[in-house]
Structure 1
Amino acid sequence: MATFLINGATIVNEGKSFIGNVLLKDGLINRISTCPIEAEATIIDATGLLLIPGVIDDQVHFREPGLTQKGDIQSESRAAVAGGVTSFMEMPNTKPPTTTLELLDQKYEIAEKSSFANFSFYIGATNDNLALISKIDPNSVCGVKVFMGSSTGNMLVDEKKVLEGIFAECPTIITTHCEDEATIKKNLAEFQVRYGDKIPVEAHPLIRSNEACLRSTDIAVGLATKYSSKLHVLHISTKEELALFDKKPLVEKKITGEVCVHHLWYSDQDYSSRGNFIKWNPAIKSAEDRDALRAGLSIGKLDVVATDHAPHTLNEKSNPYSTAPSGGPAVQHSLVLMLELAKQGIYSIEAVVEKMCHAPATLFNISKRGFIREGYHADLVLVDPKAEWTISRENIFYKCGWSPFEGVKLSNNVKKTFVNGILVYDTGAFVSDKPNGVRLKFDR
């Protein structure tokens, strides 16, 4: 394994930025210093570049097995690495859904052979597998996923007794998709009466409304409070939900919230130009909601930034609203979009690193990742903060070949990505076609 010496980078880590040098050896961060480091190594002049920990995305859908026409673990993990994401946690709504230990093991076997980034997988809750959920090893999975709104296959958990059991007995972190199914069905029926099969995409945030999100999140937070569960509510999308979360330091919280990049970037004003390509569940909502989410992240009510990366084929997304699937790809662009918000003065660069790197590592108790510390795994990203470029289909690595952020102009770019001390991505190209991601370990 090659030894690298990164010289003169602006190191952004644990709330501070300083110019320093970092030695990578045997897959680990061997030394960090503001003074010159003497070592036999491949020298990387990082003058003018930012050096940050690899991003950890706690919510992706890489579509394997069963839906690989949309994406697969190899293709989407490559795109992730190109965007500075070095670790991911993948959701269970594949085909078949990951709701048994056997199916979970099959995913790990696939990833061990094909993933360019480090990985872990959620096991999915159903109305029928509470006995399994209560006995899982907290160190074998990143967490349990509970769909409290419509989902793939049989993964909608809508039986009150089962929900109570999951929150009472789950031995690890519970992550939830919170949208009230009854509210959504009622709203959809009203729009179908009005428009038939020609519902405009602008109706999406009215069908999957603020009320639907708040009702479901309120139930989840109530159950977690009742049973003292560790709960992480995914993709918060409304200003009203923020009232359910505390501003305490992350290490003191048992109930936490995630926000996704698309909810921080877009608003309902963008449906007219972006259409189904920004159709996500939960929906992108008003500018007032977007601005409240931005503020909630700044003050610590929201703890983690992720993507909910969920690719579909271009043909599927080109369907009319009623039949176009929800979700879109984002792992290649989440970091640069957040750094762009930092340039706009909405966040500091240190805050972006906190919410995308440190916080997921802390929240999920990931072993020796998410920070630039001696002895930690060398998952590192060099970013050029003065590189202007535009997201286009010519520079997209997603298998689906499109992005909901096409045409967005950026003023920063990922130059190099190291995964476990190996330089995997360098200036727009992959150095090696050999996947070297490994299974994440947890200190629980």
Structure 2
Amino acid sequence: MARVNVQLAVVNGRLVTPAGVRPGVVLVADGRITGIADSAPGHVRVLDAGGRYVLPGLIDSHVHFRTPGLEYKEDWEHGSRAAVAGGVTTVMDMPNTVPPALHPDAVVAKARRITGRSLVDFAFHIGADPLHPEVLVDLDPAIARSAKVFMAGHHTAPTVISEPEVLDKVFAAAAASGVRLVLHAEDQRLHDLLDAWRGGPPHAYRDYERWRPRSSPISAVVQVLELVRRHGTKAHILHLSSAEEADLVAAAAADGLPVTFELTAHHLSFTDADTVRGGARTRLAPAIRGPQDQDRLWAALRAGEAATLGSDHAPHTRDEKERPVADAPPGLPGVQELATAVWTGMRRRWPDEDQDTAVRRLVHHLGEAPADLFGLAGKGRLVAGADGDLVVFDPDRRWMLSASDIASKCGWSAYEGWTFTGRVQVTVKSGLVVYDREQGTFGAPGGRWLSPLSQEGGRTGNG
């Protein structure tokens, strides 16, 4: 090991590996983990973890970094800083930009625009185009291996696919090429029906959850499961909000259907009472629901029924959020808060759980699972040959989030004033420190576009 050109040795850490938590030293050379040793070789740069956990760099497979066209809300300089401050070193960006990324050429142009501006590595979900579902049949997997489907509209949704015959074509096209659909599963036709009956969209936050009821995502999930059964399409349902959705998808997966689902920190952290009290800060689509639904989502996480955790980082400006209820867009920032919010929730809900068991769960849902689901080779695992992306995480640090901590360009967080347990101390990407909390510093933007086809530890990039 001493003969390898080691550029970094992370010492005195509790290493969170696929085999469990163990002491040791992580060695990184040429941007990759070369091995785990008992001691550091001489004459190398040393990062002392101080007895804290050392995690693999985390993956957030659901962000909206708003480029191109909406950079006044967020951009990659700010969004990637928020990511590394939260221990995230790889993100998957959504297609609802201006113009939207509905065609491979748009994805390539987007990647070129981002290159040189991001601290984190990145991949993309292409948008499913209802006018041209055939794009998915011939989709080059080096461009994208997954496609976003909006089954209901909102302020930044570029396309809505709610007609059964169009959904059928999209699912068939995705199945033909092995593209995984990632779905915003709400029923737009149900929204339209209720709004027509009630005289318009919600006009007060006390009515918001009732105006965008649980019946909408439940109906959409039933449609998704029927289409998956018909075509064999791989489907990943985003931001589940209700107990019934979790039951349906878990049952379908147990029955052998290729369906998975994501939980967001927001739906795990807030309830509809927070939206009544705080208004637009926690206005989401799908809506945040009641405590019993939240309990079921936490149970799905603990049971391993959920596949991934995602932030649905969707910043808007304060001015946009202060608009009248019908005009205020849903969404909130969250990539910086994701891991810490989930960790805080786990420790408060299950205080007697072994800490190593809890941290392995966090790493599984923010590392191994999204890496496997979306073909991100070299990501999400602390093993020899993986990318040298590491996080020093203090599991016991108590701290209060304030506006001065927020790295997102929008400058606000729904979690402001929260007392968290657990904090990211240092984030390393490809062997280089990109975030140091104590120093208050960020590294240089060296993030790469990841090719899902790469078999070389995720080191092959495009653009």
Q: TM-score range by the shorter chain?
A: over 0.9
Instruction: Give runs of aligned pairs for residues 66-77 of structure 1, distance below 5 A.
Output: 66-77=69-80
Residue 55 of structure 2 aligns to a residue whose secondary structure is strand
Cα shift readout 1:334-382 (whole Å, capped 9, x = no counterpart) = 0111111232244712111111111101111211110001011011110
Quick check: 2:191–2:212 contact (8 Å CA) kept in 1? yes
TM-score where L is the length of structure 1: 0.94
Where do residues 116-127 of structure 1 align in structure 2 (5 Å cutoff)?
116-127=119-130
Stretch deviating more after TM superposition (344-353 or 15-24): 344-353
5+ long unaligned stretches in structure 1: none
Provide the residue aligned with 2:8 in structure 1.
4
Counterpart residue number, 2:461: none
Q: CA deviation at 1:428?
A: 5.0
- Measure, in 2, the Cα distance between the counterparts of 1:73 and 1:324: 23
Supply the AA of the counterpart residue of 1:106. Answer: A
Q: Which residue of 1 aligns with 2:247?
A: 243
Check 1:127–1:178 CA distance in 2 against 1; reply closer, same or farther (3 A cut): same
State which of 293, 300, 307 in structure 1 corresponds to 2:304: 300
In structure 2, relative to structure 1, the CA distance for the partners of 1:249 and 1:14 (3 Å cut) is farther
Alignment of 1:197-276 (within 5 A): 199-246=203-250, 254-276=258-280
Inter-partner Cα distance in structure 2 for 1:83 and 1:138: 29
2:376 is aligned with 1:366:
yes
CA distance 1:75–1:429, shift in 2 (3 Å): farther
In 2, the alpha carbon distance for the partners of 1:174 and 1:148 equals 12
**Separation in 1, partners of 2:248, 2:238:** 13
Alignment of 1:14-413 (within 5 A): 14=18, 16-33=20-37, 35-151=38-154, 152=156, 154-170=158-174, 171=177, 172-192=179-199, 199-246=203-250, 254-346=258-350, 348-413=358-423
Structure 1 residue 190, shift from structure 2 partner: 4.6
Instruction: Name the stretch that deviates more: 146-155 or 314-323.
Output: 146-155
The 3-state SS of whatever aligns with 2:222 is helix
AA in 2 matched with 1:386: D
Work out the CA distance in 2 between the residues paired with 1:257 and 1:229.
14
The amino acid of 1:355's aligned partner reads H
Q: 1:198 to 1:142 in 2, by over 3 A?
A: closer
**Aligned partner letter, 1:173:** R
1:123–1:144 Cα contact (<8 Å) kept: yes
5+ long unaligned stretches in structure 2: 455-463
The 8 Å contact of residues 367 and 442 in structure 1, kept in 2 or not, is answered as yes
Q: Is the 8 A contact 2:150 2:159 kept in 1?
A: yes
Q: In structure 2, give the amino acid aligned to 1:188.
A: D
Three-state SS of the structure 1 residue aligned to 2:397 is: coil
**Corresponding residue SS for 1:69:** coil
How far apart are the structure 1 equivalents of 2:432 and 2:397?
24
Q: Deviations over 1:258-298 (max 9, x none)?
A: 11110011111212332110001111011111111111122
RMSD between superposed Cα atoms in Å: 2.1
- Residues 203 and 323 (structure 1 numbering): CA distance in 2 closer, same or farther, change over 3 Å? same
Identity over aligned residues, as a percent?
Answer: 31
Question: What secondary structure sits across from 2:60 in the alignment?
Answer: strand
State the distance in 2 between where 1:268 and 1:413 align: 27
Q: Quick one: structure 1 residues 217 and 39, their matched pair in 2 at CA, closer, same or farther if it must change by over 3 Å? A: farther
2:428 aligned partner, one-letter code: F
Q: Once the 2 structures are TM-superposed, how far is the Cα of residue 299 of structure 1 from its aligned partner?
A: 1.4
Structure 1 residue 189, shift from structure 2 partner: 3.9
Q: Take 1:147 and 1:184, find their aligned partners in 2: how far apart are those partners?
A: 14
